[in-house]
Chain A
Amino acid sequence: MAQRAGGRVVIRVYAWLVIAFIYVPLLIVALYAFSGSVGQRWPIQHYTTRWFGVAWRNGIVRDALKTSVEIALLATVLALVLGSLAAFAVHRFSFFGRNVVSLVLVLPIALPGIVTAMALNSVFVTAKIPLNLVTIFIGHSVFCIVVIFNNVIARLRRTPTSLMEASMDLGADGWQTFRRVTLPAIRTALVAGALLAFALSFDEIVVTNFLAGSEITLPKFIYDNLRQPRSRPIVNVVAIVVVLLSIIPVYLAQRLSGGADVLTAGRTQRSSATGA
């Protein structure tokens, strides 16, 4: 390398400072979950786990947890079916408007979330459809589909079509080929995509706020109670639970597909329309 050692040290130090900048706030939020006092003074005076119990016994928090899990599961299942179907179609066939289709599928993450939120809200309100769990589910499914689509299509592109052709040549019909060749090839991509979709739905707030009506999800609980001093300890605890329940699936997804690619596929447009 043609770099001076001094320059490299500066870059190294700078890079690690930026990494610290990324992680210190997360560390602090984790510590506050164990803070014994209701105030937000730093440093934390004494540590306790008692707020976890208080939060767990809180009826609103439990209902919110149940709601969040339900919606995340439903949205993931629907996205799994629709997202992988779309990925198959876009990958397998070339048809008129294929690029438009892949553009439409990634639009929900390309446009600011508030546009999606406002668009869906205005339709529901104008059509006098009550805002409840169903409308949240519809909103979440829109961007969960994108995550699955991106993951599955990335895997399909890396799977040689010769495998499917060989299977057909050996006498398997379309269904057998799908079940014995295609499905095993994309299985981990499906699971990884599902885990990511779950995580995405579980901590979604931008769209949820517009579609929830009087329903409360876990992130919505945090949003509504953040400014209430008396709820602070519970919010601290709920925050760390939300982090864990979204980071664990993401960690598993990453392990399953063995790389950083899977994490970027859901959040950016890397494997989107341009790659088609």
Chain B
Amino acid sequence: MAATELREPPSGLIRRLSAALFRHPRVKLALTLGTPLVWMLVVYLGALGFLFVAAFWHLDAFTGLVVKQYGLSNFRLLWDEPVYRTITLRTVGIAGAVTVADVMLALPLAYYLARVVSSRFRSALLIAIVMPLWVSYLVRVFAWKLILTPNGFLNWIVERTGIGSLQLGNSNWALFIVFTYLWLPFMVLPIFTALERIPESYLEASSDLGGKEPITFALVVWPLAFPGIVAGSIFTFSLTLGDYIAPSLVANTKFIGNVIYDSVGVANNLPLGAAFAVVPVVIMAVYLLVAKRLGAFEAL
């Protein structure tokens, strides 16, 4: 190894450049961080900043052109117009319901992964659960569209049991199922991480002190899993809040995202779309503040 190093003569320019960079770490920092930072600042943060500015512009009612004057007219419209209020409440409501459902599905699964299954299977199962996150989101929505059609898979099963038939297509229930399905792995992972960290001795201690399983669960497992649950809920809540694809495909209902999408494509009202895009950001900011209080960030 050393012999090959010696045989290679240090090429003059590169060597001098390396040495200069070594002596001036600030320059090196600027060179490494400069490009990505400029790119992210200009493209991403710049765009986000612009979004907040454009949210305060408004559309001229007669010409249909954007008036670059600052005012609260968009936000006032979003607040006063019952349609927008209903849409916001629906979005937040379904996001909350999806989060609760995902906790109920994910908690036992995460417990099984962390404390029941043998360690040989654990990583394989973990990969099997995370893998669907990488299967096209759109295809997973499409799968449910196929399942929920009137003569699709779900009704085939329901009819077999003899209960009758379900008409879930194009309903909020369909949407609820699809979102619960889409974001489930996001909930399993942080809960698994939290449960995996609980030392076995805690559970033994609880049982030695006479705690039956429900008591151990309520007083030991749940409090230690809770930060993980909150961490997972950030994803399930935020992702549902910002979605517009699933509402337009599996249900004929509107989410905040659909209004934003229409404001760009159909209505051509950029300021209103920008203003409505600020709403999920504000809701998420509040949510994250509460989550931080509950200790969710240590569980991520």
A residues with a Cβ closer than 8 A to B are 1-4, 7-8, 11-12, 14-15, 18-19, 21-23, 25-26, 28-29, 32, 39-43, 81-83, 85-86, 88-90, 92-93, 95, 101, 104-105, 107-108, 110-116, 118-123, 125-126, 138, 141-142, 145, 170-176, 196, 199-200, 203, 205-206, 209-210, 219, 222-223, 226-227, 235, 239-240, 242-243, 246-247, 250-251, 254, 259-260, 263-264, 267-270, 272, 274
Beta-carbon contacts under 8 Å, B73-132 to A: 105-106, 108-109, 111-113, 115-117, 123, 125-132
CB of B245 within 8 A of CB of A205, answer: yes
Q: How many residues of B contact A (CB 8 A)?
A: 107
Please give, as numbers and ranges, the residues of chain B lying within 8 Å of A209 by CB-CB distance.
Answer: 245, 261
25 contacts between A and B (CB under 8 A): A15-B111, A15-B112, A82-B36, A86-B32, A89-B32, A111-B238, A111-B284, A112-B284, A116-B47, A119-B277, A122-B270, A123-B47, A125-B270, A141-B39, A170-B2, A203-B139, A210-B261, A223-B245, A239-B138, A239-B139, A242-B136, A260-B130, A264-B189, A267-B186, A268-B186
**A25 and B181 form a contact (CB under 8 A):** yes
Task: Output the least CB separation between B275 and chain A (Å).
Answer: 10
Task: Enumerate chain B residues within 8 angstroms of A89, measured Cβ to Cβ.
Answer: 29, 32-33, 36
Q: Say yes or no: B18 contacts A210, CB within 8 Å.
A: no
Q: Are the CB atoms of A274 and B300 closer together than 8 Å?
A: yes
Q: Which residues of B lie under 8 Å from residue A242 when comparing CB positions?
A: 136, 138-139
Determine whether the beta carbon of B48 is less than 8 Å from that of A93: no
Residue of B nearest to A8 (CB): B116
* Residue in A18, A23, A92, A111 whose beta carbon sits within 8 Å of that of B281 in the complex: A111
B203 and A2 contact, CB distance less than 8 A:
yes
By the criterion CB–CB under 8 Å, are A85 and B142 in contact?
no
Q: Are the C-beta atoms of B36 and A86 separated by less than 8 Å?
A: yes
Question: Given A206-B245, A222-B138, are A41 and B151 neighbors across the interface (CB < 8 Å)?
Answer: yes
A268 near B235 with CB under 8 A, answer yes
Q: Is the CB of A93 within 8 A of B25?
A: yes
For the complex, give the distance between the alpha carbons of A274 and B23 in Å: 30
Which chain B residue lies CB-closest to A105?
A: B40
Is B146 part of the binding interface, using a Cβ–Cβ cutoff of 8 Å?
A: yes
Contact B204 A2, beta carbon cutoff 8 Å: yes
**A114 CB contact (under 8 Å) in B14, B235, B244:** B244
Q: How far apart sit A43 and B160, CA to CA, in the bound complex (Å)?
A: 12
Q: Is the CB of A174 within 8 A of B18?
A: yes
A28 to B142, CA, bound (A): 10
Contact indicator B134/A112 (Cβ below 8 Å): no
CB-contact partner of A115 in B51, B109, B125, B128, under 8 A: B51
Taking CB atoms, residues of chain B closer than 8 Å to A269 are 300
Contact with A along B20-47 (1 / 0, CB 8 A): 0110010011001101110111011111
With A11-B112, A86-B33 already in contact, the answer to whether A173 and B242 are too (CB < 8 A) is: no
User: Which of B33, B43, B109, B300 meets A18, CB within 8 Å?
Assistant: B109
Cβ-defined contact, A263 with B32, below 8 A: no
Shortest CB-to-CB span from A50 to chain B, Å, is 19
Contact residues in B for A272 (Cβ distance below 8 Å)? 300
For the complex, give the distance between the alpha carbons of A274 and B293 in Å.
Answer: 15
Which of the listed residues B18, B44, B135, B284 has the most CB atoms from chain A within 10 Å of its own CB? Answer: B44
Contact B143 A25 (CB under 8 A): yes
Chain B positions 196-246 with a Cβ under 8 Å from a chain A Cβ = 200, 203-204, 206-207, 213, 216, 235, 238-239, 241-245
B152 and A42: CB pair below 8 A? yes
Q: In the complex, what distance in Å separates the CA atom of A1 from the CA atom of B118?
A: 13
* B115 neighbours in A (Cβ, 8 Å): 1
Partner of A28, one of B111, B146, B185, B203: B146
Given A15-B109, A40-B149, A263-B127, also A116-B44 (CB < 8 A) = yes
With both beta carbons as reference points, the residue of chain A lying nearest to B125 in the complex is identified as: A19
CB neighbours of B112 from chain A (8 A): 11-12, 14-15
Given contacts A25-B140, A42-B152, A112-B280, contact A15 B264 (CB under 8 A): no
Minimal Cβ-Cβ distance residue in B for A205: B138
| CB <8 Å contact, A170 and B5 | yes
Contacts of A29 in B (CB 8 A): 139-140, 142-143, 146
Using Cβ atoms and an 8 Å threshold, which residues of chain A touch B251? none
Report chain B residues within 8 Å CB of A267.
Answer: 130, 133-134, 186
B175 within 8 Å of A (CB atoms): no
Contact A95 B29 (CB under 8 A): yes
Instruction: Name the B residues within 8 Å of A196 (CB-CB).
Output: 134
Given contacts A2-B203, A88-B32, A260-B127, contact A174 B21 (CB under 8 A): yes
